[in-house]
Amino acid sequence: MSLASQEFLSSDVAEGVFQLPGRLALHHGGSLEQPSLGWRIAGQPDAPVILALGGISAHRCVFDAAQPRMGWWHEVVGPGLALDTNRVRVLGIDYLGGSGESTGPAAGGVFPSLSSYDQADALVQLLEHLNIQRLQAIVGASYGAMVALAIGERYAARVGQLVVISGADRAHPMATAWRSVQRHIVRFGMASGRATEGLELARALAMATYRSPDEFAARFDQPARQVEGRFVFAVEEYLFARGRDYASRYRAESFLCLSESIDLHAVDATRVAIPSIVIAIREDQLVPIADMRALAVRLPRARLIELSSPHGHDAFLKEAAALQSIFQSLYGVIER
Amino acid sequence: MSLASQEFLSSDVAEGVFQLPGRLALHHGGSLEQPSLGWRIAGQPDAPVILALGGISAHRCVFDAAQPRMGWWHEVVGPGLALDTNRVRVLGIDYLGGSGESTGPAAGGVFPSLSSYDQADALVQLLEHLNIQRLQAIVGASYGAMVALAIGERYAARVGQLVVISGADRAHPMATAWRSVQRHIVRFGMASGRATEGLELARALAMATYRSPDEFAARFDQPARQVEGRFVFAVEEYLFARGRDYASRYRAESFLCLSESIDLHAVDATRVAIPSIVIAIREDQLVPIADMRALAVRLPRARLIELSSPHGHDAFLKEAAALQSIFQSLYGVIER
């Protein structure tokens, strides 16, 4: 679906596709010529704006009060929820390089390597376009935490507060290992003319890294069953069902681009001069707790909150109650 | 290379391929008709025999004093080493279903699902053939720990002691998740006519699960470098070098068979009536410490030793000093 820029759909929802007026020079070389950025803003009219950024499969629809399942953060963000859209407006975007309305790789096409700084640069132009001088806060999780830190380093005056969840100043080499294998699988699928199957497989692997061993032990402690002469394990059925669902909705080329962008991410946390809350999940396999603690030490103005969750890296999608109390500090009045 | 049964190569090394006299009925159904089992025994002549069983890429050559790199456990087993072959003889085998001299799947062939009980049943026939009435001990690590437990449950009278390293009474669902993805990758490669590449990828993924995040953080904390227009990460280069090496030496079909055998493994630890030492590595991602503790509780006569190692699941290959002190208890005289 294509949306006209700034077409207001109802009194409290607006969305559009913003075309940057010029060339966007990229951190790792190359540029994008007048790239587009899909955006959506929803919540209490005239309330302060919070930018919500999720993982690489997130998109501009953070929540949708009318169709809750359409929002990638629907368990946490909405009227009366942990991030209460009766009190704030929430801005979401489609990432550059992704599968949404923003500029990204075409099927089979070549696309330059993207940095979290590139997302930050494009986002700040969008804020200008939307006439948002200053964000009340950015709440970023996973890749979104990385982009939040990139904005914090480059554009501190634009943001009142950062909430950095399950994402650090750089990727851990073990997480890079797992994602490197995922990218090889996807490229292998593309080279074999079976891109969708490759993407299914890569996503199945990714799902195993998003959750904690304890969650899998509790859910999948069942004997294998025989299907068409082969043993199939309960956890295998789950992973590949998730993989198939993902591959039906996302492009292999976008996955490659954003997965690489995570591993290329490297910001200087000591230069992020914004009050920050760092939320770390002890069971996160992908972003070890030690890396989040080190991030909180490097950030000049950070408070660290450690949580436990069987959902591991995906805790930000699930732990609404814990997040609700933390998000209370985001509702204060700021100058705008 | 094919070796005549029981051909003695030197005074203290013997190896051969034993053909079981009859049909081997398999735990999960089906049977193997007079399967072969490759074996090798080396060490102090007439000394007590210790059976050493490793992971699914182990083989009958546990150590070779003349060519150390030929033995899969060469850092730990040998004359004067942690498991001192001046004091014991060490028996090794090629697993059924593997890539060695034992019966396994042919290229492109169908092969039945193998249980750790099947390995145990075949092994006990080999002991009979070699006239080894009772093993001084079995030292089993990873898949070898699973086979050791299967022997312990079914053939307690054959063994004086078990040393169970980094393998439990069943696989953890998270480890099954990672291995399921590996098997899908291999089958995907086979279906695409690119079995070797699939095996490289699967092994690259497996390597990431064998080591600990701390080891990778220490070794691979380097910026990506550009190779042929694409960013390549240090950890990625390492994993795929290991993957290529593996794929040049092992068959995809064997990998599928033994990987599945790990996930099908399920023994009743409460029925293993042999004195056992359980060695658990706190950093093991594949066999969580909680599972090893639970195993030690279920085993009727077990002592648990917990170690820390950056090598994670692969610690048994590397931590010679820690193992040396534990292995002291294996040299006692037993009736034979």
Residue B121 annotated among the catalytic residues of the structure: no
Return the pLDDT at B12: 87
Give me the residue from B177, B216, B266 closest to A239, CB to CB.
Answer: B177
Return the pLDDT at A10: 47
> How confident is the model over A152-170, as a mean pLDDT?
98
Cα B71 from chain centre = 13
Q: For B159-195, what is each residue's pLDDT tens digit?
A: 999 999 999 999 999 999 999 999 999 999 999 999 9
Do residues A146 and A262 touch, judged by C-beta distance below 8 A? yes
d(CA A165, CA A277): 8
Mean pLDDT of chain A: 94
Q: How many CB atoms lie within 10 A of CB A37?
A: 25
d(CA B14, CA B43): 10
Q: Between residues 155 and 184 of chain A, which touch chain B (CB distance below 8 Å)?
A: 172-174, 176-178, 180-181, 184
Tokens of B225: 């470098």
Whether the predicted pLDDT of B8 surpasses 80: no
Mean pLDDT of chain B: 94
Q: Which helix (H) or strand (E) segment is A182 a member of?
A: helix A173-191
User: What band does A248 get if pLDDT is binned at 50, 70 and 90?
Assistant: very high
Return the pLDDT at B58: 97
Where do the H-state alpha helices sit in A51-172?
A: 116-129, 143-154
Q: Out of A198-202, B67-71, B316-320, which region has the weakest mean confidence (pLDDT)? A: B67-71
Exposure of A271 in the CB half-sphere (CA atoms within 13 A): 9
User: What band does A147 get if pLDDT is binned at 50, 70 and 90?
Assistant: very high
Contact status of B16 with chain A (Cβ, < 8 Å):
no
Whether the predicted pLDDT of B229 surpasses 70: yes
Of A124, A182, A142, which Cα lies nearest the Cα of A58? Answer: A142
> How confident is the model over B273-287, as a mean pLDDT?
97
Indicate the pTM of the whole model.
Answer: 0.94
* φ and ψ at residue B27, rounded to 5 degrees: -60, -40
Give me the residue from A174, A201, A221 closest to B185, CB to CB.
Answer: A201
Cα nearest neighbour of B205 on chain A = A181
Cβ contacts of A205 on chain B, cutoff 8 Å: 178, 181, 205
d(CA B7, CA B16): 6
Please report, in angstroms and rounded to a whole number, the separation of the first and last CA atoms in chain A: 33
ipTM: 0.92
Q: Between residues 272 and 291 of chain B, which touch chain A (CB distance below 8 Å)?
A: 285, 288
Active-site annotation holder among B102, B115, B142, B261? B142
Q: For A189-235, what is each residue's pLDDT tens digit?
A: 999 999 999 999 999 999 999 999 999 999 998 899 999 889 999 99
Do residues B171 and B209 touch, judged by C-beta distance below 8 A? no
C-alpha distances in Å from residue B334, one per residue of A307, B47, B160, B326:
53, 10, 8, 18
Taking an 8 Å cut-off on Cβ atoms, the answer to whether A231 and B260 are in contact is: yes
d(CA A14, CA B308): 54
d(CA A143, CA A120): 12
Residue A284 annotated among the catalytic residues of the structure: yes
Give me the residue from A113, A173, A217 closest to B221, CB to CB.
Answer: A173
User: What band does B11 get if pLDDT is binned at 50, 70 and 90?
Assistant: low
| In chain B, % of residues over pLDDT 90 | 91
Return the pLDDT at A8: 42
Return the pLDDT at B333: 54
Active-site annotation holder among A36, A116, A142, A261? A142
Return the pLDDT at A177: 97
C-alpha distances in Å from residue B245, one per residue of B94, B203, B213, B241, B326:
19, 9, 22, 6, 32
> How confident is the model over B95-116, as a mean pLDDT?
93
Return the pLDDT at A336: 39
Return the pLDDT at B34: 98
Q: In Å, how far is A65's CA from the nearest CA of chain B? A: 35
Of A52, A195, A32, which Cα lies nearest the Cα of A114? Answer: A32
Q: For A6-64, what is each residue's pLDDT tens digit?
A: 444 445 899 999 999 999 999 999 999 999 999 999 999 989 999 999 999 999 999 99
Do residues A127 and A336 touch, judged by C-beta distance below 8 A? no
User: What band does A4 get if pLDDT is binned at 50, 70 and 90?
Assistant: very low
Taking an 8 Å cut-off on Cβ atoms, the answer to whether B173 and A233 are in contact is: yes
Taking an 8 Å cut-off on Cβ atoms, the answer to whether B216 and A264 are in contact is: no
Residue type at position B145: A
Q: For B299-310, what is each residue's pLDDT tens digit?
A: 999 999 999 999
Return the pLDDT at B17: 98
User: What band does B144 get if pLDDT is binned at 50, 70 and 90?
Assistant: very high
Return the pLDDT at B109: 80
Whether the predicted pLDDT of A1 surpasses 70: no
A-B contacts at Cβ under 8 angstroms: 126
Do residues B252 and B196 touch, judged by C-beta distance below 8 A? yes
Active-site annotation holder among A12, A118, A169, A284? A284
d(CA A332, CA A137): 10
Return the pLDDT at B291: 98
d(CA B272, CA B158): 12
Whether the predicted pLDDT of B5 surpasses 60: no
User: What band does B336 get if pLDDT is binned at 50, 70 and 90?
Assistant: very low
Q: For A103-115, what is each residue's pLDDT tens digit?
A: 999 888 889 999 9
